[in-house]
Amino acid sequence: MKRLKLISAFLIFSFLFISCIDEPAQPQSTSEIIKEISREWTCNMDEDGFNVDFNAVISSDPTDDTKVFISNFHKMGNDLSVYVIVHTDLSLDIPEQTKNNQTFKGSGIISDDYTEITWNYSIEYDNGDVSQVTGKYSYGVSA
């Protein structure tokens, strides 16, 4: 009888212990990720050694749940936006696109807590010059 009680107690405590272990986060859908990142960001970018700070706004595309628009991307102004493709692994792709005589192409990665986006992209200017840009978008923390 003691053995049965001991086994029962062990099973109950084992179940409680196992049920308290955090499950790994399930990958979110792109639409859930987009909801998390659609907001105003504080931006700090470095273009070939020239540092610039500004704000940009990420907003969802109402017709495509894998795409966002970034207004004031690369401090081009709020009336110009670049579109970005969002992936479930928290990576971002900037497909090649030309805005304001500048051709952009690159990538980014969203932090697990959705408070930072790290960017790496190139800009080709209409005169043929190419610049490499790295930087960070921050939310809730200083850039």
Q: Which domains does the chain have, with CATH numbers?
A: 30-138 (2.40.128.420)
- Whether residue 31 is predicted with pLDDT greater than 80 in this model: the reply is yes
Q: What pLDDT score was predicted for residue 143?
A: 45
Mean pLDDT computed over every residue of the chain: 88
Q: What pLDDT score was predicted for residue 10?
A: 55
- Whether residue 13 is predicted with pLDDT greater than 90 in this model: the reply is no
Cα separation of 115 and 125, whole Å? 30
Q: What pLDDT score was predicted for residue 4?
A: 56
- Helix, strand and coil percent figures for the chain, each rounded to 5: 20, 50, 30
- Whether residue 37 is predicted with pLDDT greater than 70 in this model: the reply is yes
Asked whether the CA dihedral 8, 9, 10, 15 is positive or negative, the reply is positive
Q: What pLDDT score was predicted for residue 14?
A: 56
Least-confidence region, from 17-21, 35-39, 111-115, 132-136: 17-21
Give the mean pLDDT of 66-79.
96
For residue 140, name the pLDDT band (cuts at 50, 70, 90).
confident
